[in-house]
Amino acid sequence: MKKYISLANKQTFYYLWKNNKFRKNFTTTINNIVLIKEDYKLLETFNKKTKYLRSYIFLESDNNLIFIDFNKKENDIKLKLNLEVVEFLNLIYEKQVVLIMFNTYKGVNQNNNNLYLIYKNEVNQDFINFLLTTNFKEQKAYKYKDLLDYVYNLDENFYLAYLNETKKEEMIYNFKEI
């Protein structure tokens, strides 16, 4: 069995999106967060090979472009970078652009002007807290064993892309502003 695989990873998300149960649960979760009911298409913005270009998660519906990201460190580096991406997307998209940042540490959920910061806490749906788990023991405590089996049995191509994405995320967290 592979070592712990974070569900809060863009490559994991990409492969999980192919799983109908995950897609249905995640769509419901997004609709509950932004208080709308829409179906989403995952845009192909995943980088599996390039060393320095990170992947992005964009879900598109008829009316919205949902930008999803995961934050594993208690700092605002990724939020600042993502707000710049949102600013650019607002210039080129006629649809409403929404940023949802899932944070793997504890906090109180916040939302303001199409920005949603979701933290690990007791008021979340189980599915959200399942996504935000930080170790295998936590993952097993939730009722989504079939999704864990799916992820942990993915092929070596997934695992290499996952490790590559993890390294790129660490480079972002270690980034120092000039």
Helix (H) or strand (E) holding 123: none
Cβ(77)–Cβ(175) below 8 Å: yes
For the whole prediction, is pTM greater than 0.85?
yes
- For residue 45, the surrounding DSSP H or E stretch is none
Helices (H), 5-144: 10-16, 20-34, 77-92, 126-131, 136-140
> Can you tell me the distance from the alpha carbon of 1 to that of 42, in angstroms, rounded to the nearest whole number?
28
Can you give the pLDDT of all 178 residues of the chain as single tens digits?
578 999 999 999 999 999 999 999 999 999 999 999 999 999 988 666 666 567 889 999 999 999 999 998 888 888 998 999 999 999 999 999 999 999 999 999 999 999 999 999 999 999 999 999 999 999 999 999 999 999 999 999 999 989 988 888 887 777 655 4
* pLDDT for 178: 41
Residue 76: the pLDDT is 85
